[in-house]
Amino acid sequence: MDTFKKLFGIEKSLIKPDCILSPLNEVDLFAGSRPGERARGDYFRVADSRYATIIGTRYNLLAGDCVLGLADSPCRNIYLFNCCGGVGVEIGVTYSVRKAFDFESFSGMLAGKEPAACYLPDAELAGEFSSYSGLPEGTCATVGSLALEETHLPRFRALGVDCLDMECSAVFSASKNTGKRALALLYVSNSVPDKPWHEHLNRRDIQRLGKSRKDLAALLMGFIARGTA
């Protein structure tokens, strides 16, 4: 078995030009897009839909490796879809990421180091999506620790950070390296410092969160379908 099929569970040639990269628990969110057969590789689970290939990652830290694995596949556009932490914003707020600061190192965060770099989505793809959706753009910090988020709040605020995730800067940098167009869509599932990741949400927040993620998924699929019509 070749490496790609071992990791992804399918032949490389079956990957569609548009790929949605998400955690495993988000793959079923796109079921309304008429997914076909699903494949399970050692590290990624793949579902085929009418307009896109949906790739679920087992671990956050493998998002960048997933993109590198798609380097010589038919994939042209990569859409990161995931939840995120908000910086003083309400649960359910959604963003298209305009830039992502690299705080990926746990040890770097623990030592209080500055971000290593800032990475951007593909300008053309981001512009097309913005014109189609009108979704607010947000600045992201991709972090290597949930426990250290609150400690870094003053720095995040100074950088104009709106949301916190654990994949975005890696996906942007890997996409640039492999010549793919990348975009990240995030919805806020917790908020620092008032509703951190380890606290339970109330019923109203849960309802808002559920609607937000479904609406954002539908918006993304509508955008991809528009481009393939």
Predicted confidence at residue 22, as pLDDT, reads: 94
Pick from 167, 164, 165, 147: which is nearest to 88 by CA?
A: 164
CA-CA-CA-CA torsion sign (37, 70, 185, 141): positive
Residue for token digits 């620790």? 145
Predicted confidence at residue 169, as pLDDT, reads: 97
Predicted confidence at residue 1, as pLDDT, reads: 64
pLDDT tens profile 185-225: 999 999 998 888 888 888 999 999 999 999 999 999 999 99
* CA–CA separation, 100 and 140 (whole Å): 5
Contact 140, 179 (CB under 8 A): no
pTM of the model: 0.94
Predicted confidence at residue 33, as pLDDT, reads: 47
Predicted confidence at residue 113, as pLDDT, reads: 83
Q: Which CATH architecture has domain 3-228?
A: 3-Layer(aba) Sandwich (3.40)
User: What is the per-residue DSSP string for 10-50?
Assistant: S-GGG--SEEEEEEGGGGGGGGGG----EEE-SSEEEEE-S
Instruction: Report, as ranges of residue numbers, the positions in the chain whose pLDDT lies below 70.
Output: 1, 31-37, 227-229
Pick from 116, 192, 184, 86: which is nearest to 147 by CA?
A: 192
Predicted confidence at residue 42, as pLDDT, reads: 86
